[in-house]
Amino acid sequence: MQNYFRATSYINHWLDAVDEHSIHSPFFYEFYHQVIKSTSDRDHFLEIEKTREVLLSNETVVSVKDLGAKSPHFKSDGRTISKIAATSLSPEKHCALFYRIAKYTEAKRIVELGTSMGITSLYLSKIERSKVITFEGNPWMINIAKSNFEYFHQKNIQLIEGNINQTLPDHLQNPVKIDFALLDANHRYEPTLQYFEWLSKRMADRGVMVIDDIYYSEEMGKAWRELKKHDLVYGSIDLYRCGILFFDIRLNKQHFVWSL
């Protein structure tokens, strides 16, 4: 059923997707060219991608419990690091996309839900004068991510350990505004909406939030349909793999379906 939902969602996305000729908003036209379709930064992350390759070849078995939606790729908690890396890490082009979004918005304070092994965190940490606060609940993932952060000597990453349902609201007691948020954790309807509600109260006036895996399941599809219509969201982009939400009131409730 889940595979059927993804397949039909992909076909509908492909049918609905438009190109630059259908974009009449100056802001989104520029965003399309400078962020979505840009490939100018690929050489910036070669060392990080070498770390991904190391993880993809690591056959060490670790115990990983799914803290949100159960992974369809595993039947037990015992998993090789290589298989976890292959199925849970955001692909290179999406990591680069998240970096370009945050860079375009000149993000200084970045929140990431779902550190995994820290590859996306490392991409985001490359933005000058930024601070990345990333949340992870699985001890094995935390250990691997910490090792990767130490290897790159990244001092602008703060990893918050523990159940996000507890650690996120505690962290958000700090009233500092968030410029960019990436939700890549849990992948269920109610937690996704709850994380959005918590984070939306701290988003900057021109803040941007990315919801990853919006067609992971029917309930994630439902969450995405509701979030893009939320009163605080003034623009949205559906890229199939992820959805982008804009909190800038000047955008006047515009929605686009694009192919990455």
- The predicted-structure confidence for 41-85, as pLDDT tens digits, reads as follows 777 899 999 999 999 999 988 766 656 555 555 555 677 999 999
Q: Catalogue the long-range contacts made by 24-27 (C-beta closer than 8 Å, 24 or more residues apart).
A: 25/251, 25/254, 27/235, 27/250, 27/251
Task: Please name the CATH architecture into which domain 2-43+89-257 falls.
Answer: 3-Layer(aba) Sandwich (3.40)
Chain segment 147-176, per-residue pLDDT in tens: 999 999 999 999 999 999 999 999 999 889
Give Cα 252 distance to the centre of its chain. Answer: 24
Residue 4 has a pLDDT of: 87
- Distance (Å, whole) CA 62 – CA 74: 12
* Confidence check: pLDDT of 39 > 90: no
Mean predicted confidence (pLDDT) in 118-125: 98
Going by the DSSP 8-state scheme, the letter that residue 232 receives in this structure is: T
pLDDT above 80 for 241? yes
Residue 21: band (very low, low, confident or very high) from pLDDT cuts 50, 70, 90: confident
| CA distance linking residue 133 with residue 102, whole number of Å | 13
Residue 82, judged by CB atoms within 10 A of its CB (0-12, 13-18, 19+), counts as middle
Query: Domain coordinates of the chain in residue numbers?
Result: 2-43+89-257
**Rounded average pLDDT over 3-16:** 90
pLDDT surpasses 70 at 256: yes
Phi/psi of residue 157, nearest 5 degrees = -110, 130
DSSP state of 238: E
What distance in Å separates the CA atoms of residue 208 and residue 49, rounded to the nearest whole number? 25
pLDDT at 240: 97
0.85 cut: is pTM over it?
yes
Residue 206 carries which side chain, given as an amino acid letter?
A: R
pLDDT digits 0-9 by tens, 180-239:
999 999 899 999 999 999 999 999 999 999 999 999 999 999 999 999 999 999 999 999
